[in-house]
Amino acid sequence: MNLAKFLLQERERDRLIRGVKSNLFQLHLDFGLEGNCEQLSISEARRIIAIVNASGGLKRFEAQHCFGNAQRLIAKDMGETLKYYEGFAVIDLVNDLTHHAWVSINGKVVDLTWRTAFKKTSPGARASYFGVDIPYLDVLRNIFRFHQHRPLMDNQEFVKEHFQSLKRI
Summarised one tens digit per residue, pLDDT across range 57-102 is: 888 888 889 999 999 999 999 878 999 999 988 877 677 778 899 9
Q: Is the pLDDT of residue 17 over 80?
A: no
pLDDT (tens digit per residue) in 29-48: 778 888 988 999 999 999 99
Q: How confident is the model at residue 152 (pLDDT cuts 50, 70, 90)?
A: confident
Beta strand ranges found along 123-168 (DSSP E): 127-134
| Residues 6 or more apart whose Cβ sits within 8 Å of residue 82 | 51, 73, 74, 103, 104, 105, 110
**This prediction's pTM:** 0.82
CB 63 within 8 A of CB 116: yes
Backbone angles phi, psi at 80, to 5 degrees: -75, -50
Beta strand ranges found along 54-162 (DSSP E): 82-91, 98-105, 108-110, 127-134
